[in-house]
Amino acid sequence: MEPFSYSKPADDAGAIAAGQADRSQFIAGGTNLVDLMQLEIIRPLAVIDITGLGYGQVEPLPGGVRIGALVTNSDLAYHPLIANGYPVLSEALLSGASPQLRNLATTGGNLLQRTRCPYFRDPQITACNKRLPGSGCSAIGGFTRSHAVLGVSDKCIATNPSDMNVALVALDAIVHTKRAGGVRAIPISELHVLPGDHPERETVLEPGELITHVELPRLAPATRSHYLKVRDRASYAFALASAAVVLEIASGQIERARIGLGGVASKPWRAAAAERVLVGQPPSPEVFAKAAAAALAGSRSQPGNAFKIELARRTLVRALTETVAGRS
Ligand SMILES: Cc1cc2nc3c(=O)[nH]c(=O)nc-3n(C[C@H](O)[C@H](O)[C@H](O)COP(=O)(O)OP(=O)(O)OC[C@H]3O[C@@H](n4cnc5c(N)ncnc54)[C@H](O)[C@@H]3O)c2cc1C
Ligand code: SF4
């Protein structure tokens, strides 16, 4: 491992200033960064420990809940404001990684975790546009079982691996940051960017921009929500396909629908076309099937991941069915 400096700034200004230096990295739980440093995929010159900055609380707001960027995935999943008020988020968090990892992993780190594309994570591989811009993509035409079918480009087909992000998309979360120029609030659906011609750029964040907290808007009383994850093993495995469903149902009709898809897309995916099919309809197997077809309409697969299109459709139909049945 290359030598690097370690610092633990006492305040946000110190962290933001240090974070702007070339090849610097914030570290929170370290479960993704240290892993990638050990593999020599990320080789920072400076590691900036942000765990002394506060941001470890979950607090009620008049219009929702504020989650500090350093709240661990375990604390968040079991916090009564989340477990009772936003069950889809609890379910998503508890479906991820292992209890030991969730005890360390933080909200900010989970938002920014890197892809699990095996070619990205193998330093011997020399063609990976995300890691080495302009070098090509080893996955296209290669082993693609875990890769994306939505939002892909001919430069990169990697998935965003986070479960939490999928629930946050369906909850219309707002990500709050601090940077040298001040603060900003970024809707979760605008935080991550599609790979396009520049897969090396994954978010709209600037160097040294610090995520401070995430805000969840209050849900209407009639809301039901649920997260369903389909994977190779029942635990300790990333999603092959997942769906986060948030529905408001009144007088036997879906009044509002918000759908996130995971395991199948280059970024946490908002299935707006599926939402449009659902709104104004009574819940039924036929409507759910139409919504799932709409969600996957623009998909582009490789031979090795074509199965994901049908898998994602079925995952969404089952998640909708279980949500209406009161699964959460
Ligand atoms: C074996 C294994 C299995 C896993 N399984 C799953 C799974 O099934 N589902 C799932 O969703 N995840 C899974 N994960 C990933 C895990 O959830 C992430 O590693 C974790 O959430 C990252 O959080 P962290 O605090 O450890 O981040 P770190 O490793 O500390 O940081 C990750 C990145 O975020 C940046 N960062 C961290 N905090 C901030 C901040 N506040 N502002 C700006 N930048 C910041 C860092 O600079 C770094 O680039 C798994 C991980 C492992 C190792
Ligand atoms: S899919 Fe993306 S991350 Fe994977 S090898 Fe291709 S460019 Fe790299």
For position 218, what pLDDT does the model report? 97
Site to probe by mutation for ligand 1, drawn from 66, 71, 113, 236 as the one with most ligand atoms within 8 Å of Cβ, is 113
Residue 193 Cα to ligand 2 middle (Å)? 15
Q: Is 30 exposed, middle or buried (0-12, 13-18, 19+ CB in 10 A)?
A: middle
CB 152 near ligand 2, within 6 Å: no
Smallest Cα–Cα separation from 187: which of 297, 76, 252, 268? 268
Ligand 1 atom 51: the closest Cα is on which residue? 97
Q: What is the DSSP string of 54-103?
A: ----EEEETTEEEEETT-BHHHHHH-HHHHHH-HHHHHHHHTSS-HHHHH
For position 100, what pLDDT does the model report? 97
Q: Is 129 exposed, middle or buried (0-12, 13-18, 19+ CB in 10 A)?
A: buried
Contact 322/226 with Cβ under 8 angstroms?
yes
Give me the residues paired with residue 76 across strands: none
Mean pLDDT estimate for the chain: 97
CB 77 near ligand 2, within 6 Å: no
Residue 320 Cα to ligand 2 middle (Å)? 31
Ligand 2 atom 6: the closest Cα is on which residue? 137
Measured CA to CA, the distance from residue 200 to residue 253 in angstroms comes to 43
Residue 215 Cα to ligand 2 middle (Å)? 31
Q: Which pair of tokens denotes residue 120?
A: 């990205």
For position 1, what pLDDT does the model report? 76
CB 199 near ligand 1, within 6 Å: no
For position 32, what pLDDT does the model report? 98
pTM: 0.98
Atom of ligand 2 nearest to the CA of 158: 1
Q: Is the pLDDT of residue 185 over 70?
A: yes
Measured CA to CA, the distance from residue 25 to residue 35 in angstroms comes to 13
pLDDT-derived band of residue 236, with 50, 70 and 90 as boundaries?
confident
pLDDT-derived band of residue 328, with 50, 70 and 90 as boundaries?
low
Ligand 2 atom 2: the closest Cα is on which residue? 156
% of the chain surpassing 70 pLDDT: 99
Q: Which ligand is nearest to the CA of 126?
A: 2
CB 138 near ligand 2, within 6 Å: yes
Helix (H, G, I), strand (E, B) or coil at 48: strand
Q: Render pLDDT for 68-81 as a digit per residue (tens, 0 to 9).
A: 999 999 999 999 99
pLDDT-derived band of residue 327, with 50, 70 and 90 as boundaries?
low
Atom of ligand 1 nearest to the CA of 211: 42
For position 94, what pLDDT does the model report? 97
Contact 173/216 with Cβ under 8 angstroms?
yes
Q: Render pLDDT for 88-123 as a digit per residue (tens, 0 to 9).
A: 999 999 999 999 999 999 999 999 999 999 999 999
